[in-house]
């Protein structure tokens, strides 16, 4: 990344020092307020697959999805849930601070409600019974939440809090078709409603910078999430990763990635559209540096977050 990629101190999107522009709580602020300190997330690979990979809807996954089903930072699926939690604890041990209060078990890789309910019960119960786990976070698809699964999630939520993370990415059907999402928008809306009726927290994933979407269309997606009933949102920059169909499209010059400045300003405007009571779980994202093709500037996450903090907090 070159210096010109950064916003300078006179850029109009920078605000007066000392003010706090962000009206929502970040997930770290929310957790500290509710649990009195820091919770560390441990990514778990429970060995599930996805209807976009097993032939039910398709075999290649979503166009941007890596071979690990977005679980590039999860532990090995060859380990039990308990073994993965213990391995994750060792991984973050050096980071533990004085206000450490426990862990979040994050079922991250592939679609984590896409299995027979008894198998789901086994892995989720193993996580929820671990004494150091405070929250269970489950990444899944809105079209993989039948009545039996919803009842199970409600049951687990009565033991320890459950966050359900839904991969929406966009509300625009033309983009959804291009990225091979595999379900219509009303499925997402219905899933949020059903989960909230059962008292579950819902975190929606949105990708900013999807091919062919205008800035206005991206903001329309964010606005829809804010009105959908979701309790949290993850804003994710589009990453082009090696060995994905998206990488092939990028190599052909079919689309371009957002610039650093475009992304910073887009996040700023996106947050303005969201209600005050929604929790901001992410404002950027990690792409495995060994796999990352573009945008190259996103590889320096610390600098990206520092700039976002400057823009949003002064």
Q: Is the pLDDT of residue 70 over 80?
A: no
256 Cβ neighbours under 8 A, 6+ residues apart? none
Tracing tokens 């009571």 back to the chain, one arrives at: 277
CA end-to-end distance (rounded Å), the chain: 23
Tens of pLDDT, residues 100-157 = 999 999 999 999 999 999 999 999 999 999 999 999 999 999 999 999 999 999 999 9
Q: What are phi and psi of 103, to 5 degrees?
A: -130, 155
Q: What is the pLDDT of residue 97?
A: 85
pLDDT of the residue at 11? 39
**What is the spatial distance between Cα 95 and Cα 85, in angstroms, rounded to a whole number?**
16
Angle between the N-to-C axes of helices 215-228 and 185-197, in degrees from 0 to 180, rounded to the nearest 10: 30
ω into residue 295 within 30 of 0, thus cis?
A: yes
Strands 292-294 and 240-241: antiparallel
CA neighbor of 213 nearest in space, from 205, 222, 225: 222
Q: Between helices 215-228 and 260-273, what is the axis angle to 10°?
A: 30
Q: What is the pLDDT of residues 26-44, one digit of tens each?
A: 999 999 999 999 999 999 9
- Torsion angle defined by CA atoms of residues 300, 302, 304 and 310, in that order, rounded to the nearest 10 degrees: -160
Q: Over the stretch 160-209, which tens digit does the pLDDT of each residue have?
A: 999 999 999 999 999 999 999 999 999 999 999 999 999 999 999 999 99
Domains in the chain: ranges and CATH: 22-306 (3.20.20.70)
How many whole angstroms separate alpha carbon 261 and alpha carbon 293?
A: 19
Lowest mean pLDDT among 198-207, 249-258, 286-295: 286-295
């Amino acid at each position: 990344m070159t210096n010109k990629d950064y916003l300078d101190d006179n850029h109009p999107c920078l605000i007066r020092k000392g003010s706090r522009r962000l009206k929502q709580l970040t997930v770290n602020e929310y957790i500290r307020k509710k649990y009195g300190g820091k919770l560390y997330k441990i990514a778990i690979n429970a060995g599930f697959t996805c209807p976009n990979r097993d032939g039910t809807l398709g075999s290649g996954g979503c166009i941007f999805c890596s071979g690990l089903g977005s679980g590039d930072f999860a532990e090995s699926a060859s380990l039990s849930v308990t073994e993965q939690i213990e391995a994750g604890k060792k991984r973050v041990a050096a980071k533990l601070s004085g206000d450490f209060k426990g862990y979040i078990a994050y079922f991250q890789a592939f679609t984590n409600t896409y299995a027979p309910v008894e198998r789901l019960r086994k892995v989720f119960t193993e996580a929820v019974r671990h004494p150091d786990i405070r929250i269970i976070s489950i990444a899944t698809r809105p079209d993989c939440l039948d009545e039996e699964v919803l009842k199970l999630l409600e049951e687990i939520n009565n033991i320890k809090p459950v966050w359900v993370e839904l991969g929406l990415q966009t509300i625009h059907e033309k983009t959804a078709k291009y990225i091979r999402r595999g379900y219509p928008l009303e499925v997402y809306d219905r899933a949020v409603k059903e989960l909230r009726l059962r008292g579950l927290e819902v975190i929606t994933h949105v990708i900013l910078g999807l091919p062919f979407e205008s800035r206005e269309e991206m903001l329309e997606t964010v606005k829809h999430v804010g009105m959908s009933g979701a309790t949290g949102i993850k804003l994710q920059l589009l990453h082009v990763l090696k060995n994905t169909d998206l990488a092939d499209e990028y190599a052909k010059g079919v689309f371009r990635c957002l610039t650093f400045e475009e992304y910073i300003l887009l996040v700023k405007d996106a947050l303005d559209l969201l209600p005050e009571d929604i929790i901001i779980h992410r404002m950027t994202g990690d792409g495995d540096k060994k796999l990352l093709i573009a945008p190259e500037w996103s590889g320096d996450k610390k600098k990206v977050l520092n700039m976002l903090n400057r823009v949003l907090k002064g």
